[in-house]
């Protein structure tokens, strides 16, 4: 989980204070209609008690962060993310909407504005608040299956109908050992009867101890053939402070060992040829490849060294930026499976229309993309990181079904 400087945290707190000050100004225009002075004063006091308490808690948490037990630290950070966003965003919307209404009050008569403007203003604040609360307590574990067909004229007929389930960005540390929360996802996956199950990185947030107790859960995953995995940027321990190089390596080795313990073949810049009726396809897995400042552990050429003669290749690469940089038009890889973006855990989606602020950082950020005869699928992630919610971006189980071109 990315660590922010004290200066950045102070700027965030100042932004919260600014928005809350403006929100309080407009709140007073609403509470002036309350006849009870006790109720009015109580609302005003509670408003500022919450604001001062939140800002103080954020600063204290930042100052004392290094002394907090890592297990408790992750939980506290995610809770404050949720609290800050569920407070800041509704107030920001409230300020924008009610400011527009008051400065364009020619739309209403004077008597209407006294009633209509406060009501619309309150609704504009409460609506996003309830949406965020729903995202935190309900949507974050409403796992959704996205089923896609990939057709290719070079897919060997022996593999027609092959089913691949892709999982990505589980971030198990964020589940806080809530093993039962993934049981429903496991049931959904097994119901799909996949031939292969792949995990495309970010099994943990930072530490191997996050995996404690999860072995029995993941051993329930059933694939008819095999299970493969790759590492994501969070699996290397690069976001944490370590007492020594050896301690970091020990953490890394424990994460790799966990994959072996749950029956997943970890592909570290290597490939696996799959044979069926004397026909072949290949799974290629590279270590994390990201744009700086992310470290680039991936070596695609090394990973492809022994599969150049295989026509149909499937690449597992955590970061979707890798597809445009090293795969598209530069290799004969047919299908790339990625994750990493989480779809920002917040988006607007309606039928074929989807939008999220993350699109301004990642051109390919969620779903299926095609360029000529090459495909990229970006999984929206099964877990969450930081903000403990999913808003319009449900956690995803991907089912890819391969088809020959003549079907």
3-state SS, residue 43: helix
pLDDT (0 to 100) of residue 82: 85
Task: Give dist(CA 235, CA 206) in Å, integer.
Answer: 6
Give yes or no: residues 279 and 327 share one domain: yes
Q: Is residue 254 part of a domain?
A: yes
Q: Is residue 349 part of a domain?
A: yes
Give yes or no: residues 191 and 316 share one domain: yes
Task: Give dist(CA 225, CA 217) in Å, integer.
Answer: 19
Is residue 58 within 8 A of residue 78, CB to CB? The reply is: no
Give yes or no: residues 31 and 148 share one domain: no
Query: What single string gives the DSSP state of each residue in 65-84?
Result: GGGS-HHHHHHHHHHHHHHH
Task: Give dist(CA 311, CA 48) in Å, integer.
Answer: 64
Beta partners for 369?
A: 376
Q: Is residue 397 part of a domain?
A: yes
Domain count, the chain: 2
- Sign for the pseudo-dihedral over CA of 179, 181, 184, 190: negative
Give yes or no: residues 227 and 376 share one domain: yes
Beta partners for 264?
A: none
Give yes or no: residues 157 and 217 share one domain: yes
Give yes or no: residues 119 and 155 share one domain: no
Using alpha carbons, select from 207, 300, 261 the residue that is nearest to residue 1. Answer: 207
Query: Of 117, 137, 157, which one is at a domain's C-terminal end?
Result: 137
Q: Which residues contact 103 (CB under 8 A, 6 or more apart)?
A: none
Q: Is residue 313 part of a domain?
A: yes
Helices and strands per DSSP (H, E), number in the chain: 9, 14
Kindly report the three-state secondary structure assignment for every residue of 140-171. HHCCEEEEEEEEECCCCHHHCCCEEEEECCCC
Give yes or no: residues 227 and 313 share one domain: yes
**How many CA atoms are closer than 13 Å to the CA of 10, on its beta-carbon side?**
4
Give yes or no: residues 185 and 105 share one domain: no
Which CATH number goes with the domain that contains 175? 3.60.21.10
Residue numbers of the domain that contains 59: 6-137
**How many CA atoms are closer than 13 Å to the CA of 364, on its beta-carbon side?**
23
Is residue 395 within 8 A of residue 381, CB to CB? The reply is: yes
Q: Is residue 286 part of a domain?
A: yes
Give yes or no: residues 346 and 239 share one domain: yes
Query: Of 96, 111, 137, which one is at a domain's C-terminal end?
Result: 137
Q: Is residue 277 part of a domain?
A: yes
Beta partners for 149?
A: 401
Peptide bond into 293 cis (omega under 30): yes
10-residue mean pLDDT profile of the chain (407 residues): values are 74 93 88 88 93 90 75 74 88 87 65 67 86 92 97 96 98 93 96 98 96 97 98 94 94 98 98 97 97 90 96 98 97 98 92 90 96 97 94 97 83
3-state SS, residue 401: strand
Query: Of 137, 165, 196, which one is at a domain's C-terminal end?
Result: 137
Q: Is residue 235 part of a domain?
A: yes
Give yes or no: residues 126 and 155 share one domain: no
Task: Give dist(CA 289, CA 324) in Å, integer.
Answer: 12
Q: Is residue 1 part of a domain?
A: no
Give yes or no: residues 328 and 248 share one domain: yes
Model confidence, pTM: 0.89
The strand order across the sheet containing 374-378 reads 270-276, 279-285, 313-316, 335-338, 374-378, 367-371
CA–chain centroid gap for 369, Å, is: 19
pLDDT (0 to 100) of residue 112: 58
Render pLDDT for 328-355 as a digit per residue (tens, 0 to 9): 999 999 999 999 999 999 999 887 888 9
Give yes or no: residues 116 and 194 share one domain: no
* Element holding 304 (H helix, E strand): helix 300-304
pLDDT (0 to 100) of residue 105: 63
pLDDT (0 to 100) of residue 1: 46
């Amino acid at each position: 989980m990315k660590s922010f400087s004290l200066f950045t945290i102070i700027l965030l707190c100042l932004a919260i204070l600014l928005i809350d000050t403006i929100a309080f100004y407009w709140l007073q225009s609403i509470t002036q209609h309350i006849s009870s002075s006790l109720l009015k004063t109580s609302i005003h006091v509670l408003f500022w008690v919450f604001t001062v308490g939140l800002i103080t808690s954020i600063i204290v948490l930042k100052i004392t962060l290094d002394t907090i037990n890592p297990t408790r630290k992750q939980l506290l950070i995610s809770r404050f993310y949720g609290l800050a966003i569920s407070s800041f965003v509704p107030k920001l919307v409230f300020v924008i909407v009610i400011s527009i209404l008051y400065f364009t009050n020619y739309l209403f008569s004077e008597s209407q504005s006294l009633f209509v403007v406060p009501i619309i203003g309150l609704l504009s604040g409460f609506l996003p608040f309830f949406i965020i609360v729903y995202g935190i307590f309900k949507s974050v574990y409403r796992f959704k299956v996205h089923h896609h067909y990939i057709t290719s004229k070079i897919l060997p007929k022996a593999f027609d109908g092959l089913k691949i389930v892709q999982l990505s960005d589980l971030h198990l540390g964020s589940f806080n050992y809530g093993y039962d929360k993934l049981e429903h996802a496991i049931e959904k996956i097994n119901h799909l009867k996949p031939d292969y199950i792949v995990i495309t990185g970010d099994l943990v947030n930072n530490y191997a101890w996050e995996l404690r107790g999860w072995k029995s859960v993941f051993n329930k995953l059933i694939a008819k053939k095999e299970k493969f995995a790759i590492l994501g940027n969070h699996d290397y321990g690069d976001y944490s402070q370590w007492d020594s190089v050896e301690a970091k390596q020990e953490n890394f080795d424990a994460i790799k060992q966990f994959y072996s313990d749950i029956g997943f073949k970890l592909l570290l810049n290597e490939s696996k040829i799959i044979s069926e009726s004397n026909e072949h396809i290949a799974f290629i897995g590279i270590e994390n490849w990201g744009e700086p400042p992310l470290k680039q552990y991936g070596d695609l050429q090394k990973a492809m060294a022994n599969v150049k003669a295989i026509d149909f290749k499937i690449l597992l690469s955590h970061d979707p930026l890798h597809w445009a940089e090293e795969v598209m038009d530069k290799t004969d890889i047919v299908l790339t499976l990625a994750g990493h973006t989480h779809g920002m855990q917040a988006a607007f989606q309606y039928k074929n229309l989807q939008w999220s602020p993350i699109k301004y950082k990642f051109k390919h950020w969620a779903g299926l993309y095609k360029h000529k005869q090459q495909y990229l699928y970006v999984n929206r992630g099964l877990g969450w990181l930081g903000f403990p919610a999913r808003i319009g971006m449900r956690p995803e189980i991907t089912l890819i079904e391969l088809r020959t071109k003549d079907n």
